[in-house]
Chains A and B, each alone.
Chain A
Amino acid sequence: DVKVTQSSRYLVKRTGEKVFLECVQDMDHENMFWYRQDPGLGLRLIYFSYDVKMKEKGDIPEGYSVSREKKERFSLILESASTSQTSMYLCASSPTDTRYEQYFGPGTRLTVT
């Protein structure tokens, strides 16, 4: 059974803190993605990666960075958290041959106070 896991289900951080969100997939997928989900806005792509050490900006990369040192792990970094980054964060992965059929993790609800 395919699996994408995210390090935390709920996270509360203070403004200005550096925040790490971790995502691990066990399906040997080439592609990995980070989204945020907000009411009325759907899912918006922050960053994605199509190979180890490769990354591409999505639609809303400002305030975020990513790291992919190993194929199975994709990290999202909030360099200095702000209240506007309070959101649900979803990680996904997909294989190259069916790259649009993404498998999602359960999400991390991040609250920045």
Chain B
Amino acid sequence: DQQVKQNSPSLSVQEGRISILNCDYTNSMFDYFLWYKKYPAEGPTFLISISSIKDKNEDGRFTVFLNKSAKHLSLHIVPSQPGDSAVYFCAAGGTSYGKLTFGQGTILTVHP
């Protein structure tokens, strides 16, 4: 049972345009959501997070939106840069001790 889903395996955008990555979850106990970024041959790195009491969090070019009623979150990258090309994982926590449940990942490719 996949409690966190990223339905788009890949996304391709042009440099300078907006990238929108989506994530859906099913468990109502989740109260904290994160996005991680992963380059090949490296471990994932934390990118941005949002708690369930907010609906938006911004950090520079990255914004995460949370729609609790729809159990949906999204990551917006504006403007997209070639260095943003990576695998993006959404993750959800709230059940115990820092345990995270990850989505399947979306491969983002930003073309120059």
Which residues from chain A sit less than 8 Å from chain B, CB to CB?
4, 31, 33, 35, 40-45, 48, 50, 56, 58-59, 90, 92, 94, 96, 99-107
- B46 A43 Cβ-Cβ under 8 A: no
Whether B97 contacts A104 by the Cβ 8 Å rule is: no
**Structural contact, A99 and B104, CB atoms closer than 8 A:** no
Contact B97 A42 (CB under 8 A): no
B101 within 8 A of A: yes
Output the nearest chain A residue to B100 by Cβ-Cβ distance.
A100
28 CB-based A-B contacts, threshold 8 Å: A4-B43, A31-B97, A33-B100, A40-B9, A40-B104, A42-B6, A42-B104, A43-B44, A43-B89, A44-B102, A45-B100, A59-B101, A90-B43, A94-B98, A96-B98, A99-B97, A100-B32, A100-B34, A100-B91, A100-B98, A101-B34, A101-B46, A101-B49, A104-B43, A104-B44, A105-B43, A106-B41, A107-B42
B24 → chain A closest CB, angstroms: 13
Tell me the complex Cα distance, A51–B64, Å. 31
B96, CB-defined interface residue at 8 Å: yes
Q: In the complex, what residues of B have CB within 8 A of residue A92's CB?
A: 43
At the interface, yes or no: B45 with Cβ under 8 Å from chain A? yes
